[in-house]
Amino acid sequence: MIPLLDVGATYEELREKIDRAVREVLESGWYIGGPPVERFEEQYARYCGASHCIGVGNGLEALALSLRALDIGPGDEVIVPSNTYIATWLAVSMVGAIPVPVEPDEATHCIDPAGISEAITELTRCIMPVHLYGHPCAMDEIISIARIHGLVVVEDAAQAHGAALGKRKIGSHGDAVAWSFYPTKNLGAFGDAGAVTTNRTDIAERLRLLRNYGSNAKNVHEVKGVNSRLDPIQAAILSAKLEYLDEWQQRRQRVANRYADLFAGSNRVIAPTTSTGVLPAWHLYVIRVDNRDFVSARLDQRGIASMPHYPTPPFLQQAYAEMKTEAGRWPLATRLADTVLSIPMGPHMKPGDIEQVAEAVLQAVEA
Ligand SMILES: *Cc1c(COP(=O)(O)O)cnc(C)c1O
């Protein structure tokens, strides 16, 4: 069986380091916050080139707390991609704001800046680009649109650890950048974890309050905060893994390059496109094929995992039933949902497996 991602392989590679990191936390007797969390926050901020990193419980809360820290709430409109994972939209709904979908650029699957300009109304407060599959969005354009209209930018970087635009890593372009360390992400904990990075000291301070019951000092509660903490065991594991993130990105890049070579001759497989000057994280390797479900079933028969990311756009989910009648406004997201297919990708893929997957895909699309 060739899995979509060999999640256990990172533990195999770093077993001793991780075991030691976890044991140190267990032996410390300090199980909430403390040095491991502070150390990871400092390391990850430095890694991203951001002034601050604030650890939180998971990626969804990183997004929602970023919005709250920027005072976005009921009645506000937030521009989101039409073709993202539903968490991006749910974060907007969690703070009582309204997600306003904008279609992607078909080549990169990232939100199209031209569509953003068209979607802005007097209620718009925020743009939420998602670096989908690990491909960075056109942040220069997005930020200049935000400046012109007085909007803030919250990036969903849950799939983009280590990605860069030019020489600048993702992590400090927008007002706040939300991260998930869900186990299958490129930097994954062994449980739930998340963080926000930012260059804005005011937002960092507000996030530190919000994540901790609205409190910075014992028994003093300045705002109605929540409990959203980065667990110190997870933080210690993340610190151990962070050293390897760039190397893992390079290994993913080599897998992507090999796939690109193998798919180059086919006009039935649309392989992913990378914008110039962009370093993708290659969280997922997403091809597009017309007979997607058939191809996926054929791969499955040959012991090769594959999965559509994502088969149903948020506006067609029951959770957003109020938008179903408008679904015709986002035909590209619907078409992408019908044709996208993620095939195995990861830093621990065996060279022979890449050829086997590509061959199976090429056979299935011709069948
Ligand atoms: C994983 C993911 C999230 C949510 O992260 P959790 O840690 O699972 O809450 C948000 N947005 C995107 C694009 C994701 O891939």
Indicate which CATH number applies to the domain containing 189.
3.40.640.10
Calculate the alpha carbon distances from 58 to 63, 115, 120, 188, 303 in Å. 9, 29, 29, 11, 32
- Is the CB of residue 88 below 6 angstroms from any atom belonging to ligand 1? yes
**Closest atom of ligand 1 to CA, residue 283:** 15
Q: Based on the fold, state whether residues 249 and 334 are members of the same structural domain.
A: yes
Instruction: Give me the half-sphere count of Cα atoms (radius 13 Å) on the Cβ side of residue 226.
Output: 16
85 lines ligand 1 (CB under 6 A): yes
Are residues 308 and 230 part of one domain?
Answer: no
**Ligand 1 nearest-atom number relative to CA 159:** 15
Assess whether 197 and 255 both reside in one domain: no
Q: How far apart are CA 129 and CA 175, in angstroms?
A: 12
Query: Span 257-280, mean pLDDT?
Result: 96
Q: What separation in Å is there between the alpha carbon of 212 and the centre of ligand 1? A: 21
In a domain, residue 158? The reply is yes
Token match 């968490």: residue? 87
- Domain range spanning residue 62? 7-242
**63 domain-assigned:** yes
Looking at 242, 260, 294, the residue that finishes a domain is 242
Residues 75 and 207 in one domain: yes
Residues 176 and 66: beta-carbon distance below 8 Å: yes
CA–CA–CA angle 233, 236, 170 (5° rounding):
120
**Does ligand 1 lie within 6 Å of residue 60's CB atom?**
yes
Q: Which of 344, 335, 246 lies closest to 286 in space, CA to CA?
A: 344
The alpha carbon of 24 and the centre of ligand 1 are apart by a number of angstroms equal to 28
Mean pLDDT of 241-245: 98
Active site residues: 185
Residues 6+ apart with CB under 8 A from 345: 4, 5, 252, 255, 256, 282, 283, 284, 285
Which pLDDT score is estimated for 100? 98
Last-in-domain residue among 211, 242, 273: 242
Percent of the chain with pLDDT over 90: 99
224 and 346, same domain (yes or no):
no
**Ligand 1: which of 65, 82, 156, 234 to mutate, judged by most atoms within 8 Å of the beta carbon?**
156
pLDDT band at 351 (very low <50, low <70, confident <90, very high): confident
Q: Which residues pair with residue 66 across a beta bridge?
A: none
Please tell me what DSSP assigns to residue 304.
Answer: B
2 is a domain residue: no
Q: Which of 5, 85, 154 to mutate to test the pocket of ligand 1 (most atoms within 8 A of CB)?
A: 85
pLDDT above 70 covers a percentage of the chain that reads 100
Average pLDDT rounded to a whole number, residues 355-361: 98
Q: Assess whether 303 and 358 both reside in one domain.
A: yes
